Amino acid sequence: MNRYFSKKIDEISNNGESPRINICAIINTIMKNNLNPSSMKNTNTSHLMQMTTAASLLAMVESFGSTYNPANAHIALQALKDNLALNQQLVFDIQESKTRLANHKNNKNEMLLGVNKKVSLILLNLGSLGLSPATMQSVRVISKNFKYRPGKSQEEKPREAIRGTASPGENSAESSSDVIKSSRSAYKFAERRVNWFEELVNFISTIPGYQPNESNLTIASLKSYVSDLKQELEAWQRESGTLASLRTKRAQQLRNETDGMVTLCRQTKSYVKALYGPTSVEGKAMAQFRFVRN
């Protein structure tokens, strides 16, 4: 709940005054703090902004005390508080999920860069063994998947796999379906590179002469790297699904026409107008709270 409104209501209660008598004072303070048409009527349709408006409405409703007693159980004071708490939890869960997803994405990108380095070192190591042209040709066929070019910087990033570091920032216009589509595309690309690398590792494990002294290039080390990469990809994909699911729940909680936050707040406004009259101070105050369903 909006901290300012809670404080005002507590002050009224502590002074032993009737919240009903002081409602005008609360409304006037709302106006002075620019929480009236200049801000609320311009509220955008994002979940966070709608929650802020709902919290302000709830603070005012709570100031009505026992007078506020709707027949609709869904807009009872406690039910409204529970709905707001649920939406607040969704915001927290989404932010946590985005942070985890960003971490998995960064880890995956770093490991894919590690694959590029390992492939180049493997090729150089194999070139020093004097292997048959047929064997080297087989290695080249697999390694071409990584578009390795001698003389190029080994720090060069894959064209699709890495586009800057991941950020947990939220794009409010991004839909769950867009997230899923983008995630699946990126996952398929990363999965192909892991599969190619595993194919290369499996092939060189059949070459008797491939026994490097460098611990990070041994067959056991390379297979372990493949396993770790697969686990990171799975964690990344799993978290992508979790985030998409949370975003879907957020949209449902906001826009559901039966029990969504916008619906309940609109019903609350109607009840307050019916309770006090549309031309009363309380009824007119409801115009300051706008809830938009897109």
**Number of Cβ within a 10 Å radius of residue 43:** 15
Regarding whether 270 and 236 lie in a shared domain, the answer is: no
For residue 72, tell me if it sits in a domain.
yes
Regarding whether 244 and 177 lie in a shared domain, the answer is: yes
Q: How high is the pLDDT of residue 106?
A: 92
DSSP 71: S
Residue 28 neighbours by CB under 8 Å, 6+ apart = none
Q: Are 43 and 292 in contact (CB under 8 A)?
A: yes
Regarding whether 119 and 200 lie in a shared domain, the answer is: yes
Q: Which domain holds residue 14?
A: 3-87+259-288
Regarding whether 220 and 185 lie in a shared domain, the answer is: yes
Looking up tokens 């032993």 gives 16
For residue 277, tell me if it sits in a domain.
yes
Domain count, the chain: 2
Regarding whether 114 and 245 lie in a shared domain, the answer is: yes
- The Cα 129–Cα 285 span in angstroms is 83
Residuewise pLDDT in 10s, the chain (294 residues): 444 444 444 554 455 444 443 444 544 444 444 444 333 333 334 788 889 999 999 999 999 999 999 999 999 999 999 999 999 999 999 999 999 999 999 999 999 889 989 998 998 899 888 888 888 888 888 888 876 444 444 444 444 433 333 333 444 444 555 545 556 788 888 899 999 999 999 999 999 889 999 999 999 999 999 999 999 999 999 999 999 999 999 988 888 888 899 999 999 999 999 999 999 999 999 999 999 876
Q: How high is the pLDDT of residue 131?
A: 86
For residue 118, tell me if it sits in a domain.
yes
Global model pTM greater than 0.75? no
For residue 63, tell me if it sits in a domain.
yes
Regarding whether 109 and 83 lie in a shared domain, the answer is: no
Q: How far is CA 26 from CA 11, 60, 268, in A?
A: 11, 8, 18
Regarding whether 229 and 114 lie in a shared domain, the answer is: yes
Nearest 5°: the CA angle 34, 36, 42 is 95
212-232 pLDDT, tens digit per residue, is: 999 999 999 999 999 999 999
User: What's the chain's length in residues?
Assistant: 294
Q: How high is the pLDDT of residue 41?
A: 38
Regarding whether 193 and 244 lie in a shared domain, the answer is: yes
For residue 132, tell me if it sits in a domain.
yes
* Residue among 270, 259, 112, 121 at smallest CA distance from 196: 112
For residue 74, tell me if it sits in a domain.
yes
For residue 293, tell me if it sits in a domain.
no
**Number of Cβ within a 10 Å radius of residue 194:** 19
Q: How far is CA 157 from CA 111, 119, 194, 198, 200, in A?
A: 11, 14, 15, 19, 20
Regarding whether 241 and 112 lie in a shared domain, the answer is: yes
